[in-house]
Amino acid sequence: MAEYGHLTEKEITLFHQGKDFRCYRKFGAHAQGGKGFHFALWAPRVKSVHVIGEFDGWRDGIPMACVDLPGGSQSDIWTCFVPGAIDGMLYKFRIETLSGEVLYKADPFAFFAEKRPGTASRLAGPNTLKHRWNDEEWIKQRKSESHFKKPMNIYEVHLGSWKQHGKNAEDPVFFSYRELAKELTSYVKDMGYTYVELMPVMEHPFDGSWGYQTTGYYAPTSRYGLPKDFKYLIDCFHQAGIGVILDWVPGHFCRDAHGLCRFNGSELFESEEHVEWGTYKFDYSRPEVRSFLISNAIFWLEEYHVDGIRVDGVSSMLYLNYGIDDPAQKRFNHKGGEEDLVAQAFLQELNEVIGRLHPDVFTVAEESTAWPLVTYPPEEGGLGFHYKWDMGWMNDTLRYCALDFPFRDGSHQLLTFSMMYAFNENFILPLSHDEVVHGKCSLIQRMPGDYWRQFAGLRLLLMYQMCHSGGKLNFMGNEIGQFIEWRFYEGLEWFLLDYDAHARHQKFVKAMNHFYLNTPSLWQQNYDWSGYQWLDADNRDQSILLFKRQGKKEDDFTIILLNFQPDTYKEYKIGVPAAGAYREIFNSDREEFGGSNHINPQPLKTKKGVYHGQEQYIEIIVPPIGAVIFAPTLT
């Protein structure tokens, strides 16, 4: 097979067909055995391309040649070799457009970038990239058992504001990847989470975008260290038994001049402006863009051993008129609908490729509409994701929990409606960063009542999430009851743990998380009705929910009662599915958690009588604004 500047004819063909799913191996800048770096860039319809940088003193640059294919056709791919270029040097591409405009662009395939506010790419050779992995046991285990059969309790993290050195909003001193590997890994493990989800780590110019407006899709941000340091962080998570999910943004990119926008002087990577965010949408109809994006997802899975990818803003990709209210501006596809069929096909292909190449990893859709079959296979008309965020549960639940207690009976359906569709998709229940910013208030600040009731309400909210079917996700700070909204420019308020109420709340979250891990009935059958049974969904007068969670074994089940009012009941009868004795195995109202200690300390024997459709019942103490869980006992 003929080679063209280290690219084979087959690779060039596949790239132009949208089928080169590992094109990062040849495009961009690659070290050549200590002799220099080879460069390859896709830039159609331009006069010339030069690579400039520290290796030539940022002068005129090294000219790149456009690859000619057999028959005289041009590939639109520019290549060159720069002898003497070494690991760590800064560089850009100097592109002269057909109109004579000169553009200075960062490398779309760069593996590393200059720290902001600089905008250049940085050459990445072994000194920058190479890491010896020690997560063989994790990968082996990942391949041996499906993620659907494991507990999923996700801690969502923004690396720049989990902790910081000092407090300086003007120039924050971040924890490095290696410092986070020590502190964050041990914290997540100790707290009992099973996954971390990292808000975008791909290089981005503006801290305030939180990473969601990307310029360097293949480069972990230089804010926290080298790419090999980021690999070390992921490796440490895996060795601690923690999976890693990355937020990924294939729906749009920022309009910064050094990035992807107008890359050749006209629209190339983009199709149109995103009306919601002032960014640009990717052009999924262009095969080379599909190669770029799908290859990028594979890159993070293969080069960084990532376990899951959460695709941001899926709804904005799927609808032609997302964010457009003016009827005169609305557009329709050839079938007369508002669906973006090209974006739909891209997502289906993305998930098909990931499933074929890496069947042991998963993808998650942030999709907030009623788009059907998000987690169904493409061959069945689905998008092919493994999970979907349940935004309906999140919105309904937070709306309910913000209601003052006298008004909750009239909105009881907000608690129960999610079970009407709970198994239409494979859901993850999110209490994410989006819910604690922009004036929405922190979770605890939404809770009504005095200080005690607010903490009780937050404990109850988290218990409701934990006992509901589906995966779980909580944003950092929820576990310490932080009252202020999340601020991306400073660390969490860890000093709150010097105060008893916050320390007890963190102790509660830790205990709840470990209880979840050790209670298979709460997660073994998370995604179908075999794991869930209503016992009483309609007690709006007392604002109480009663249901059963079922494990794989017939005698492995839990009975869960959630009381959303500040009332206490001393002899409350609940129907149970089998005669015998039951013991309380968890109670959010325990004194050590900051509660009032309305607990059931002794095993409770069943009595004959029909309650909640069962032929026997037990009498329990119901805590105020609390959750209590029972399991059958042999003693």
Question: What pLDDT, in 10s, does the model give residues 244-260?
Answer: 999 999 999 999 999 99
pLDDT at 358: 98
Whether residue 147 is predicted with pLDDT greater than 90 in this model: the reply is yes
Beta bridge partner(s), residue 95? 49, 103
| Angle, CA of 316, 27 and 15, to the nearest 5° | 65
pLDDT at 166: 78
Residue 635's pLDDT band, with cuts at 50, 70 and 90, is: low
pLDDT at 183: 98
pLDDT at 5: 62
Helix, strand or coil, per DSSP, at residue 572: strand
Paired sense of beta strands 243-248 and 195-198, if any: parallel
Residue 459 vs residues 393, 502, 565, 627: alpha-carbon distances, Å: 17, 11, 13, 8
pLDDT at 171: 78
pLDDT at 139: 98
Class of residue 635 by CB neighbours under 10 A (exposed 0-12, middle 13-18, buried 19+): exposed
pLDDT at 596: 98
Domains of the chain, start order: 3-129 (2.60.40.10), 391-518 (no CATH), 529-633 (2.60.40.1180)
Please provide the average confidence, as pLDDT, over all residues in the chain.
96
DSSP 8-state assignment for residue 236: H
What token pair was written down for 63? 């000219």
What token pair was written down for 617? 């019942």
d(CA 154, CA 197): 6
The answer to whether 178 touches 241, Cβ cutoff 8 Å, is no
Whether residue 332 is predicted with pLDDT greater than 50 in this model: the reply is yes
Whether residue 154 is predicted with pLDDT greater than 70 in this model: the reply is yes
d(CA 565, CA 457): 9
Residue 532 vs residues 10, 391, 519, 525, 548: alpha-carbon distances, Å: 52, 20, 14, 8, 6
What token pair was written down for 18? 């949208």
Q: In this predicted model, what pLDDT tens digit does every residue of 417-468 receive, in sequence order?
A: 999 999 999 999 999 999 999 999 999 999 999 999 999 999 999 999 999 9
User: Phi and psi at residue 494, in whole multiples of 5°?
Assistant: -65, -20
* Catalytic (active site) residue 434: no
377 Cβ partners below 8 Å, 6+ apart? 384
Proportion of the chain above pLDDT 70, given as a percent: 98
Whether residue 265 is predicted with pLDDT greater than 90 in this model: the reply is yes
86 Cβ partners below 8 Å, 6+ apart? 55, 123, 125
pLDDT at 34: 85
Considering just the CA atoms, what is the radius of gyration of the chain in Å? 27
Of 270, 288, 312, 589, the catalytic one is 312
Burial 144-166 (b: 16+ CB within 10 A, else e): eeebbebbbbbbbbbbbbbbbee
d(CA 169, CA 167): 6
Q: In this predicted model, what pLDDT tens digit does every residue of 72-86 receive, in sequence order?
A: 778 899 999 999 999
Q: In this predicted model, what pLDDT tens digit does every residue of 338-369 receive, in sequence order?
A: 999 999 999 999 999 999 999 999 999 999 99
Burial 215-250 (b: 16+ CB within 10 A, else e): bbbbbbbbbbbbbbbbbbbbbbbbbeebbbbbbbbb
Q: In this predicted model, what pLDDT tens digit does every residue of 289-307 receive, in sequence order?
A: 999 999 999 999 999 999 9
The one-letter amino acid code at 66 reads C
Helix, strand or coil, per DSSP, at residue 23: helix
Taking every pair of C-alpha atoms in the chain, what is the biggest distance, in angstroms?
90
445 Cβ partners below 8 Å, 6+ apart? 454, 483
d(CA 591, CA 450): 17
Of 135, 235, 366, 396, the catalytic one is 366
Whether residue 2 is predicted with pLDDT greater than 50 in this model: the reply is no
Q: In this predicted model, what pLDDT tens digit does every residue of 12-41 receive, in sequence order?
A: 999 999 999 999 999 999 999 889 999 999
d(CA 517, CA 474): 16
* Catalytic (active site) residue 435: no
Whether residue 234 is predicted with pLDDT greater than 60 in this model: the reply is yes
User: Which has the higher per-residue pLDDT, 168 or 463?
Assistant: 463
The answer to whether 93 touches 43, Cβ cutoff 8 Å, is yes
First to last CA, the chain: 73
Q: In this predicted model, what pLDDT tens digit does every residue of 566-623 receive, in sequence order?
A: 999 999 999 999 999 999 999 999 999 999 999 999 999 999 999 999 999 999 999 9
